[in-house]
Structures are given as C-alpha cells and as structure tokens.
Amino acid sequence: MGIDLGTANTLVYVSGKGIVLQEPSVVALDRETKAALTVGEDAKKMLGRTPGNVETFRPLRDGVIADFDTAELMIKHFLERVHEGRIGLIAPRIVIGIPSGVTGVERRAVMEAAAQAGARDVYLIEEPVAAAIGAGLPVAEPTGNMIIDIGGGTTEVAVLSLQGTVISESVRIAGDELTDSIIMYMKKVHNLTVGERTAEEIKIQIGSAYPTMNIDEGSMEVRGLHLLSGLPRTVSIKAPEIRESMLEPLSMIIEAVKRTLERTPPELAADIIDRGIMLAGGGALLKGLDTLIAHETGIVCHVAADPLSCVVLGTGQVLENFKQLERVVSPRRR
Ligand SMILES: Nc1ncnc2c1ncn2[C@@H]1O[C@H](COP(=O)(O)OP(=O)(O)OP(=O)(O)O)[C@@H](O)[C@H]1O
Ligand SMILES: [Mg+2]
C-alpha cells in the first residue's frame, strides 16, 4: 500500500488496484469524548461550520504531523475504510511520502502513526522523488530532472538523477499560504471576513499567477461577513486583484526555485534546460503558475498530467517495482 499523507489531501494506493482513496486530511471530533464523528470529505464540509460540540482538525500542518493523536486516528480510519475493517488481519507493507526537509522527530512521528494504525513494514520516501516517479520522469537515468511539488503546506523543489536527490529545498509556503493571502486581502481591502473554504474557492475559480491575454479574466461574487456592519454581505471581486493578493507567497516559491537552480551542478542544469521543469501537487493547478515560473527562470515548465496524484502514484510504482526501486525508499524500517 502506498500513502501520500498530505497537509490538504490523503491518498491511498493499493498494489494491483491503483488509487483507492482520495480524501481531504480533515477530521471532525466530538469535543467532549474526542471520538471521530467523520473524516475526509464530510469533515471538510464542516470546516468553519461546526456547532459548539464539534471540532474540525487538520492534523497536518506544513506537510508534517502537527497533532499526533488526530493524525493517527485519521490514518487508522482511512486504512480501515480501504480494508473494510479487516486491517488487523492484513498488516501491510506501507510506503509513505514525507517532505524532504523533515526532522528525525517528524519522520518518527509518521512511522509511529502508521505503525499504531496497524501497518507492519513502514518505508518512507521523499515526496519530490515520489512525485517525480508519479509524474513519469525517468528518475533512474543519469539525467538531471527538476520537479516542483506545490502542495497545501510545503513546496518542494528537487533535482534528481540516478534514483537520488542531488539537491532539494523545501519551503513551508504553498497552497495554504495562497489561500491565507486571499483571506487577508478580503479583510483589508473589502472589509469582508471569509472562511478558509471560501478563500480556496476564490483561488481555484479565478486565482492566477500570471495574466492571460484575455482582457476579461473573470470576476466572482463572494459572500462573507462585513467587518463594519457585522452583517453578511456579497462583494464582487476581479481576477487581477486576487493575483496581486498572492504576490508575496508566489515570489517566495519562485525564490526557492531560483536558489535550487543556482546550486545545480552544470551538467544537470544543462539537462534541465533541455527537458524543462515538471510541476506537481495541487498548487500546480493554479492558473498561469507554469507561465510565471517559465518567465522567471527562462526554462520551459510542464504541469504533470494529474498533479494531485503524483506522489501517491509514485509510492504505488515503488510498491509494484520494489526490487528495482528499493533504493529510493528510506532503509529505516520497523
Ligand atoms: N485548481 C486549483 N487551483 C489552485 N490551487 C489548487 C487547485 N486545486 C487544488 N489546489 C490547492 O492545492 C493544494 C493541495 O494540494 P495537494 O493535495 O497536492 O497538497 P498535499 O499533498 O495535501 O500537501 P503537502 O504536500 O504540502 O503536504 C491546496 O492548497 C489546494 O487549495
Ligand atoms: Mg503533497
């Protein structure tokens, strides 16, 4: 089984079956008993909408486990769903993607949570490596490949060659920060308080990183709470202002890409110029992000066929070809 335990979404791949689960990494708990009421999509719908006795949690922050108990509960729940309640009998081999920049403590937290949830052999794989494999890059060849994985919590930039990471950089600025920027912008400029879900919808519907040729890039009606009157209100917003609002986190992502390119050994840099840069992760779906990165670096950018699934597909390929790809997983196993 392969797992992409993401800040925003958790995906599970089962050997021979493919992707069997894709759910938001959100848990709704009963505030008193701490029992899980619901997990995944249904819990995400509750974000910002809970009555006093229900609490919604996102157990991961910045790509790592922020709330251990809830994370364990969530993993257990998803694994049970995958195995339809027979988890104790199966105790599978699990390959889990983790951000390249995590500390030893954070690694152990992931392994521990998976083990507690019933996994027998836990292997860790660096997310950029998994993303590159999942995006179809020839990671085993002696060629430089650059992958940028922009998730909810982390952006990972890596140059890979011969099944290994040559250099990488992980910054804790990604899709969540883009959403946060929109929340702050709506408050500051439109005096409107909007929730995380609404801000994410704005980003997905009319957000962009680079202007298009279209004169009219679109607008959107946004509902929220007006700060001055304290009453609900609808405000109309336009695409360019939302792009402006995301400038700061976007430039931090660009800086990370440039820093990585500057540190790339010349032969590999030449390969990257030839082959282009691959974008993965949900953040890669932001309109115009490929154009922005291409513009800033002078290198062609490709968006992976299914950016949200790259990491889990990579863990799946490692499972299916364990002998050939064993070198890419961490030798530390339980
Ligand atoms: N169409 C879209 N346009 C812009 N952003 C999007 C789009 N679809 C999803 N996203 C963003 O992608 C992010 C989630 O991506 P993904 O599922 O790859 O993250 P993750 O793997 O859970 O996080 P991480 O790897 O940081 O732990 C969210 O911030 C979400 O808002
Ligand atoms: Mg991810």
What confidence tens digit (pLDDT) does each residue in 192-206 have?
A: 999 999 999 999 999
Write the residue with the smallest CA distance to atom 21 of ligand 1. 6
Q: Which atom of ligand 1 is nearest to the CA of 62?
A: 26
Q: For a pocket test of ligand 1, which of 126, 179, 308 has the largest count of ligand atoms closer than 8 A to its C-beta?
A: 308
Whole-number Å distance, alpha carbon 182 to ligand 2 midpoint, is: 21
What is the structure's pLDDT at 199?
A: 97
Name the CATH superfamily housing domain 175-245.
ATPase, substrate binding domain, subdomain 4 (3.90.640.10)
Q: Contact, 11 vs 71, CB < 8 A?
A: no
Whole-number Å distance, alpha carbon 175 to ligand 1 midpoint, is: 6
Whole-number Å distance, alpha carbon 203 to ligand 1 midpoint, is: 11
Q: Contact, 203 vs 167, CB < 8 A?
A: no
In the structure, what pLDDT confidence band is assigned to residue 334 with cuts at 50, 70 and 90?
A: very low
What is the structure's pLDDT at 333?
A: 45
Q: Where are the alpha helices (DSSP H) in 135-216?
A: 175-190, 196-206
Q: What is the pTM of this model?
A: 0.93
- Do β-strands 36-39 and 18-24 pair in parallel, antiparallel, or remain unpaired? unpaired
- For residue 197, give the ligand nearest its CA: 1
Whole-number Å distance, alpha carbon 334 to ligand 1 midpoint, is: 30
Whole-number Å distance, alpha carbon 25 to ligand 1 midpoint, is: 11
Q: Contact, 60 vs 102, CB < 8 A?
A: no
- Pick 34 or 286 by higher pLDDT: 286
Ligand 1 pocket, Cβ-based, cut-off 6 angstroms = 4, 6-9, 63, 151-154, 174-176, 179, 200, 203-204, 207, 281-283, 285-286, 308
Same fold, 2-129+311-328 and 175-245: no
Q: Which of 22, 21, 24, 19 is nearest to 7 (CA)?
A: 24
Give the mean pLDDT of the chain.
Answer: 91
> Tens digits of per-residue pLDDT, 245-280?
999 999 999 999 999 999 999 999 999 999 999 999
Q: Which atom of ligand 1 is nearest to the CA of 175?
A: 29
What is the structure's pLDDT at 85?
A: 52
Residues 6+ apart with CB under 8 A from 319: 1, 2, 13, 15, 93, 95
**CATH number for the domain formed by residue range(s) 2-129+311-328:** 3.30.420.40
What is the structure's pLDDT at 91?
A: 55
Residues 6+ apart with CB under 8 A from 188: none
Residues 6+ apart with CB under 8 A from 255: none
> Tens digits of per-residue pLDDT, 14-70?
988 999 999 999 999 998 888 888 999 999 988 888 888 898 889 988 778 888 888
* Inter-CA distances, 41 with 20, 22, 80, 149, 176, Å: 15, 9, 16, 23, 17
Question: Which range has the worst mean pLDDT, 85-99, 155-169, 218-232, 263-277?
Answer: 85-99
Q: What percentage of the chain carries pLDDT values higher than 90?
A: 67
CATH of 136-173+247-307, one of 2.102.10.10, 1.25.40.10, 3.30.420.40, 3.40.190.10: 3.30.420.40
Q: For a pocket test of ligand 1, which of 155, 204, 220 has the largest count of ligand atoms closer than 8 A to its C-beta?
A: 204
Residue 236 neighbours by CB distance under 10 Å: 9
For residues 131 and 150, give the distance between their C-alpha atoms in angstroms, rounded to a whole number.
10
- For residue 176, give the ligand nearest its CA: 1
For residues 287 and 149, give the distance between their C-alpha atoms in angstroms, rounded to a whole number.
15
Whole-number Å distance, alpha carbon 289 to ligand 2 midpoint, is: 17
Whole-number Å distance, alpha carbon 9 to ligand 1 midpoint, is: 8
- Highest mean pLDDT of the ranges 67-76, 89-98, 280-289: 280-289
Q: Which atom of ligand 1 is nearest to the CA of 311?
A: 21
> Tens digits of per-residue pLDDT, 117-172?
777 888 999 999 999 999 999 998 999 999 999 999 999 999 999 988 999 999 99
Write the residue with the smallest CA distance to atom 15 of ligand 1. 282
Domain-by-domain residue ranges, the chain?
2-129+311-328, 136-173+247-307, 175-245
